[in-house]
Homo-oligomer: A and B are copies of this chain.
Amino acid sequence: MMNTKKSTHQNIMDTAQKLIQRKGFNAFSYADIAKELDIKTSSIHYYFPSKTDLGLELMKRYRKTIQEVLEQVDQSELGSREKLQEYLQAYQSIFSEDGRICLCVMLSSDIITLEDSIQQEVKLFLQLNLDWLAKTLEEGVKCNAFNCHADTHAEASLFLSTLIGSMLLARANPKSLSFHQIGQVLYDKYTLHD
């Protein structure tokens, strides 16, 4: 019989990620995790000696996850538009009604207070997204799939900015469009011709 119980290590990472996605890196504490998992803070230090260690491992896992998603999409037979749709879908599954937004967005806003190792990991994650977006837009522009400027590098920055900002805006001001709706409008802008 398969052991379905998650390891303490994994429980800590999952709980920490959820807390950062809600409160931010500087606002969550080891005590928060300990309380939620009914363990002691010293047990967390056993797995993650410092808070930076924990944050760093979280970002690395997070990057691997998106990396795998992007590779799977690239290996598929999907068209450029469908690839972009899948990309948006990946972020929409991260965004949660309980206030969770993209881990990397939260760390980006705390970026100045983070140790260099985490800063580098955040940069890597963002660059990974930018490169994939530029490549995918480039590919789509060639076969006329996208209503988009030829400078795909610039377009990628614009696209990612919109995605990042829409999570913050939708959470902070429920009267604006929802994150899902903004994603839809964004997608339409790139696929519908006048």
Contact = CB atoms under 8 A, between A and B. Distances in A.
Interface of A: 22-24, 26-27, 99, 105-113, 119, 122-123, 126-127, 130, 147, 149, 151, 153-155, 157-158, 160-166, 168-169, 171-173, 175-177, 181-182, 185-186, 188-189, 194
A130 to B, nearest CB: 6
Given A109-B24, A109-B105, A177 B154 contact: yes
10 closest A-B pairs by CB: A165-B165, A164-B165, A161-B165, A109-B109, A161-B166, A108-B172, A157-B177, A126-B173, A162-B162, A26-B27
Contact of A158 (B112, B164, B182): B182
Which of A105, A154, A171 lies at the interface centre, i.e. has the most chain B CB atoms within 10 A of its CB?
A: A154
B173 A127 contact: yes
Contact of A106 (B23, B105, B109, B175): B109
Binding site secondary structure of chain A: helix
B154 A165 contact: no
Contacts of A153: 177
Contacts of A149: 185, 188-189
